[in-house]
Amino acid sequence: MKRSVPVVLTVLLAFYLIGRLNASNSLTNSTKIDKLVVVKSERRLMAYSGGKLVKTYRISLGKKPVGDKQFEGDNKTPEGLYTINDKNPHSGYHRNLGVSYPNASDRREAARLGKSVGGSIKIHGLPNKAPFLGKLHLLYDWTAGCMAVTNEEIEELYNSVAIGTPIEIKP
């Protein structure tokens, strides 16, 4: 038990320092994001403005992150070309941006499997009941197929990403 206390404190300090480093790279209120790219294998969400990368976010994914989402309940994050189609300031998570999943290809694949395609894929902050998690949420993939960032990061994205913005989700 005594050995685990220094390990826990070291991990917390590391996440605090990582958070401080990322805080200096905040988007300005005038930054308008015109494209998002997610690379699932790297747990990265990249935000572009005017064709230029302006910020990279570390993300958590669905509980089963490898492979494309095939049906509702598979806990996978989809892969493909989508758009941001909704903004919700009052969800069960601290704000969210809706992703236009499912597309026609997603519907065909789920139908081929005889399953419901599902929906409600989001980029969201932390659960409203656990905002204290901060960057600790990055320790594992915990969503049902969404992409999660910290509450401060979803605030930036929410303010800078318009409905209709393209998002490409890569393996």
pLDDT in tens, 42-87: 999 999 999 999 999 999 999 999 999 999 999 999 999 999 999 9
Assess whether pLDDT exceeds 80 at residue 102.
Answer: yes
94 as an active site residue: the answer is: no
Q: pTM for the complete prediction?
A: 0.84
d(CA 64, CA 69): 9
CA dihedral (46, 58, 29, 92) in degrees, to 10, reads 120
The one catalytic residue among 90, 94, 137, 146: 146
Question: What is the Rg, in whole angstroms, of the alpha carbon atoms belonging to the chain?
Answer: 17
Pure H helices in the chain? 4-23, 104-113, 151-160
Catalytic residue among 90, 94, 124, 137: 124
CATH numeric code, 32-170: 2.40.440.10
Domain ranges within the chain, ordered by starting residue: 32-170
Predicted local confidence at residue 24, as pLDDT: 46
Residue 29 confidence (pLDDT) above 50:
yes
* Annotation says 146 is catalytic: yes
Q: Which two tokens stand for residue 9?
A: 């404190």
Average predicted confidence (pLDDT) for the chain: 89
